Amino acid sequence: MLRELDYKIGGMEMDKVFKVGLVGAGGVTQLHLDGYKNHPERVEVVAICDPNEEVLNKRADEYGIKHRFTDLQDFIENSHVDVAVVCTPTSVRKEVLFPIIEAGIPIFVEKPFSDTLTEAAAIVDKASKAKLPMAVNQNFRRHYPFELIRGIVKENAIGKISQIMFTEIFFRQDAGWRLNNKRHALSVMGIHWLDGFRLVLDANPVTIACQTRSSSAINCAGETEATVQMAFDNDAIVTYVQSFSSSFSKNEMIVIGEKGTIVANHTSVKLYQRGQAEPIKTWKHHISREEATFGGLNQLLMCIESGHVPTNNVIDNLKTVSLLAGAYQAAEENSVISFDAEGLLQNEISIL
């Protein structure tokens, strides 16, 4: 059984300005820093840590960050931050997260918060036992209109969902550490979409099947193509197609319900009902990744102030990592993978 979250902090003054330090100075830190700089009433970035001094100084100079560290333990002991934002490659996440957890510093960590389900469970267990607030930057919950769609579904506008069909195809050539990662397209983008399906359906997965391929059009060690099919415990099925090698770009989510259908992309959500050729209602949507990333951090900050569990907490996100792990296992074994009643891979998680 998953442990209930019980945080040992809370009751701080509301609307505090939090001192934040970043661990990792690579490309994704720009997303965080650009989002945080628009909210000086909540966030002051006071420190940054990276073993690569050139990368560290470049990022710190760009954003005017005074305190710079090349050693993690030095950062932990001397940065005096209220929150650590961890943006390291996933391959070193556990080595970075464990010392920060042991130091009792609340953490906001990039997605996926681990490459493997076993390691993710160990991280969650350590944070849970320490009663330490820890949240994941699942910024596409707001950047993509998943939260908006969830609200429409909750209002019973389309009735019981029978199926979701999601397609994202485009051309993407990554660089840096991702090129050698054996988990690619699903780990980079699928983690967002799998999390979004869970959010919209408000249900746990029952089974997952997956096929992956790697196109020679892209320089990488991992998969560039994937087709995933899932069944959830509310009887909905989801079909998801991903490509990083397509010369044609398309992003579309179709949510089919017994009374209506939602058609969405990054910028709009349209509601169709039977017998109507045109949508009966359209919502425009634009929340930047930067703003959504600040929103995810702010959930953690409000948790620190109040003790209330943030919706992007690591135990919830463990279920998303479990879906990702299930997809890769299904592809490797060419089989259908089952989940337990809590939405975790059967026989995989026993420590929580």
Backbone phi, then psi, for 44, in 5-degree steps? -125, 115
What is the structure's pLDDT at 10? 52
What is the structure's pLDDT at 347? 56
% of the chain beyond a pLDDT of 90: 87
Residue 178's pLDDT band (cuts 50, 70, 90): confident
| Domain ranges across the chain | 18-139+291-312, 146-284+321-338
What is the structure's pLDDT at 352? 45
Q: Which CATH architecture has domain 146-284+321-338?
A: 2-Layer Sandwich (3.30)
Residue 208: name the closest of 332, 39, 101 by CA. Answer: 332
pLDDT at residue 350 is higher than 60: no
Determine which helix (DSSP H) or strand (DSSP E) holds 2, and give its type and residue range: none
Average pLDDT, the chain: 93
Cα(153)–Cα(275) distance, rounded to whole angstroms? 20
Q: 4-27: per-residue pLDDT in tens?
A: 555 555 555 557 899 999 999 999
What is the structure's pLDDT at 91? 85
Q: Does domain 18-139+291-312 have CATH number 3.40.50.720?
A: yes
Instruction: Tell me, letter by letter, the H, E, C secondary structure of 180-242.
Output: HCCCCHHHHHHHHHHHHHHHHHCCCEEEEEEEEECCCCCCCCCCCEEEEEEEECCCCEEEEEE
Q: 46-97: per-residue pLDDT in tens?
A: 999 999 999 999 999 999 999 999 999 999 999 999 999 999 988 899 999 9
pTM as predicted: 0.90
